[in-house]
Amino acid sequence: MVTSKKNKKWVAHVQETSNAMDLPEGIFTHSSKKIAQELKEAVYASSRTKGTKFQSAMSMLNYYINRAGVHLKEEDKQRLEQAKIELRKLFNKE
């Protein structure tokens, strides 16, 4: 699948203008526990969130997983899915 310039510009536009919180560089390359912890810290530090803090954090994690799509390696997908579980634990949503 070839990504067009128009598509890349759209993604950049969304990231620059959305009310999504700012995330630390490389956050999704860490362990599942560290991803969850950094998402929680980022959501509490941000004033650019909608809904609950938990919803905002989970939304950013899902956004990353969905944007990576079929290009996401199976091991990375498993780690990110585990990060969802860790995030639920941190927010007492088990």
Report H helices in the chain. 5-17, 32-45, 53-68, 74-90
Nearest to 45 by CA among 31, 60, 33, 30: 60
Residue 69's alpha-carbon distances to 6, 62, 74, in angstroms, are 18, 11, 11
Rounded alpha-carbon distances, angstroms, from residue 55 to 7, 17, 47, 48, 92: 26, 19, 14, 13, 13
Q: Where are the domains of the chain?
A: 32-94
Q: Say what the pTM is.
A: 0.78
pLDDT tens digits, residue range 28-73? 999 999 999 999 999 999 887 888 999 999 998 998 899 888 889 9
